[in-house]
C-alpha cells in the first residue's frame, strides 16, 4: 500500500510525464545493471533487459523519441541501440548538458518536454534541468532526493520498462498500446 508521501511522488511523476516527447537514457546502471564485464581478450560485455528494450519500442510506437547519452564508449551500446531503432546515441560524453542543449535546439523542444533517467552523480545536472526526471531504484541517494520518480526496479532489471509504461499511462496512450496485444 502506498504511503501518503509515496502517492504524492507518483502523482507528481505522472503529471510531469504527461509532457514528455523525448526520453533520454543513461546506459551503465540504467539500461544495464552497472557491471562492466571484460574478458581476457579485452572484449566488453553488458547485459540488457529485454523488457526494457520492449518498453523503448512501445515509446517509439507512441511517437516518443528515445536518445542515449552515456559517459562511456562501447560497441555493445551501439549494437543494442541499432536493435532498438534508437538513432541518436551519444557516447563518451563528459558534459551531458552540452549535448542536451544541442538536442533541444535541434528538435525545438523545451525542458518540460524532455524526460531523463539516470543513476549516478554525473547525471545530476541533467536531472535538474529536464521536465521529468527519474532514477533507478538502486541509484545513489543524492539523485533520489531530486528525482520526480524513483523506479521500483533496479537498473538493467526493468527500470526503463517501468518508466516507459509510466509515461504512456500518464499520456493516456497505454490503452492504445495494449490494444495491439489484445487482438
> How high is the mean pLDDT of the chain?
92
Record the pTM. Answer: 0.92
The domain spans of the chain are: 19-174
pLDDT tops 90 at residue 4: no
Q: For 47-67, b where at least 16 C-beta lie within 10 A, e where not — what string?
A: ebbebbbebbbbbbeeebbbb
Class of domain 19-174 as given by CATH: alpha beta
User: Can you tell me which residue has the cell 531530486?
Assistant: 146
pLDDT digits (tens, 9 = 90+) for 92-102: 999 999 999 99
pLDDT digits (tens, 9 = 90+) for 19-33: 999 999 999 999 999
Note the pLDDT of residue 8. Answer: 60
Amino acid at each position: 500500500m502506498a504511503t501518503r508521501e509515496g502517492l504524492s511522488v507518483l502523482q507528481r511523476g505522472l503529471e510531469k510525464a504527461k509532457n514528455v516527447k523525448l526520453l533520454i537514457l543513461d546506459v551503465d546502471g540504467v539500461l544495464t545493471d552497472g557491471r562492466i564485464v571484460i574478458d581476457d581478450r579485452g572484449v566488453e560485455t553488458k547485459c540488457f533487459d529485454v523488457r526494457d528494450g520492449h518498453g523503448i519500442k512501445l515509446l517509439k510506437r507512441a511517437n516518443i523519441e528515445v536518445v542515449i547519452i552515456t559517459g562511456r564508449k562501447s560497441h555493445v551500446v551501439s549494437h543494442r541501440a541499432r536493435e532498438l531503432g534508437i538513432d541518436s546515441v551519444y557516447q563518451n560524453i563528459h558534459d551531458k548538458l552540452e549535448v542536451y542543449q544541442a538536442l533541444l535546439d535541434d528538435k525545438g523542444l523545451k525542458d518540460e518536454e524532455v524526460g531523463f533517467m539516470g543513476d549516478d552523480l554525473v547525471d545530476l545536472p541533467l536531472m535538474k534541468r529536464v521536465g521529468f526526471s527519474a532514477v533507478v531504484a538502486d541509484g545513489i541517494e543524492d539523485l533520489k532526493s531530486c528525482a520526480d520518480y524513483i523506479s521500483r526496479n533496479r537498473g538493467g532489471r526493468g527500470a526503463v520498462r517501468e518508466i516507459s509504461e509510466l509515461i504512456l499511462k500518464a499520456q493516456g496512450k497505454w490503452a492504445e498500446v495494449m490494444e495491439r496485444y489484445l487482438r
